[in-house]
Homo-oligomer: A and B are copies of this chain.
Amino acid sequence: MKSYHHGNLKEELIKYACTICERDGYTKLSIRSLAKESNVSQTAPYRHFKTKEEVYAAVAAEGFNKLYKAVFVESDKLTLKDFIQSSKNYIDFGLQNANTYDLMFGTAVGDFSQHPELVETANKTFESLVLNLSSFLKDKDEDILAGKSITVWALLHGMVGILRKQSITEVTFTLKNLVLWALQEE
């Protein structure tokens, strides 16, 4: 016997949206299929999301949470090994969650500022990760430290983009050497 009200429809919708977006790509997600999956009428999701883009934003936010969990290393001061592992985890996340990653960094959600919750989640994630990185990239100068962190991030982010399109260029590299070289640490 099912009641008129679902109870926690929004969460269920997001959960399924995440699954579809990652498995088939976000263009394959339809509000209607979403509704059907929760045994709810076609337009019920519109009580929780004004537009489809808001669903995308929710999925992207979840993506940032997952990224955080995948990359963060519990430590006050990262060792080199931690650092390499963390970098590896970032790239792996990007490759193994390609469609979600695309949603997070592509143009599907055009203007983050329209989705305050997404902005908050994304900021929280990156502040934590940069802070985490900083404990390895120790440097007196604050600006240089920030610059290094961003550069490492850009490098990893860029690597994800490149490795995803193997067909463009066959890339063989050892992550460790590359990062070390870019950071000019021994």
Cα–Cα, bound, A126→B102 (Å) = 22
Is B169 a contact of A123 with CB atoms below 8 Å?
yes
Which of B112, B153, B159 contacts A162 (CB under 8 A)? Answer: B153
Instruction: Give the number of times this chain occurs in the complex, counting copies.
Output: 2
Task: Determine, out of A8-16, A38-46, A76-84, A103-111, the stretch whose residues face the partner at the interface.
Answer: A103-111
Q: How large is the interface on A (under 10, 10 to 19, 20 to 34, 35 or more residues)?
A: 35 or more
Query: Given A27-B108, A107-B98, A173-B147, are A122 and B165 also a contact pair (CB < 8 Å)?
Result: yes
Query: Given A154-B155, A154-B159, are A178 and B107 also a contact pair (CB < 8 Å)?
Result: no
Is B158 a contact of A154 with CB atoms below 8 Å?
yes
Is A107 a contact of B25 with CB atoms below 8 Å?
yes
Is B150 a contact of A169 with CB atoms below 8 Å?
yes
CB-CB contacts below 8 Å: A135-186 with B: 147-148, 150-151, 153-159, 161-162, 164-165, 167-169, 171, 173, 177-178, 181-182, 184
A160 to chain B, nearest CB (A): 8
Is B98 a contact of A147 with CB atoms below 8 Å?
no
Which of B98, B110, B165, B182 contacts A25 (CB under 8 A)? Answer: B110
* B residues less than 8 Å from A148 (CB atoms): 181
- Closest B residue to A144 by CB, please name it: B181
A18 to chain B, nearest CB (A): 15
